Copies of this chain bind each other. A is one copy, B any other.
Amino acid sequence: MSDEMQAAEKKRTGRRPGGEDTRGAVLAAARAEFGAKGYQKASMRAIARSAGVDAALLHHYFGSKDRLFMAALEFPIDPRAVVERVVLAGDRASVGERLAAFVLELWEQPAIRDRLLALLRTAAASEEVAALVRGFMVTELVGRLAAVLDGERPELRVELAMSQIVGLAMARYVIGVEPLASAPPEELVPLLGRTVQSYFDAS
């Protein structure tokens, strides 16, 4: 929690906000609410109430629900960045290659990779976490990408493209199968990009 947020909190409630403790309480309340209700039904108001902070302040400092989710779960892929840097950054015919490059760039960073692997393992082991990640991805990413596709079943085709990306990550970083694990990203981007593009193009 920022100094400004602490000061505002102190002024509003008259109690010591506890600095990092308050931020920790907000994130813990968010994890509990997301875990209990799922992403779609979780409410910012309920999280604020549970953490004992003002709802307007929560919105002001954490922004919208997707931002709070990313902070609470240390979720390292920002759907807004995907749309901005992939969908809007060039023409439709090369969106597959941009998405492949964007995702591989994330996975190649050790800190992000560790966090993604931890999430993948937790989701594979826990139905609750799988449901939570599913809710976030469907609401915040699949819908945004599907909205720009022509043709039938755009959500299904976005999810097939995402399944190729998750599968590549499993094979390369979890199973570590060779030669895929050591192939340079420059070799993988066009191959992966072509597959993603083929799902995105109207069939």
Binding site for B on A (CB under 8 A): 120-121, 123-125, 130-131, 133-134, 137-138, 142, 153, 155-157, 159-160, 162-172, 174-180, 183, 187-188, 191-192, 194-195, 198-199, 203
Known contacts A125-B125, A183-B156; A163/B167 CB under 8 A: yes
Q: Are B142 and A174 in contact (CB under 8 A)?
A: no
Please indicate the chain B residues that have their CB under 8 angstroms from the CB of A130 in the complex: 174-176
Q: How far is the CA of A169 from the CA of B120 in the complex (A)?
A: 13
The quantity of this chain's copies bound in the complex is 2
- Among A121, A157, A159, A183, the most chain B Cβ lie within 10 Å of the Cβ of A159
Q: Are B195 and A142 in contact (CB under 8 A)?
A: no
Please indicate the chain B residues that have their CB under 8 angstroms from the CB of A165 in the complex: 167
Q: How far is the CB of A144 from chain B (nearest CB, A)?
A: 15
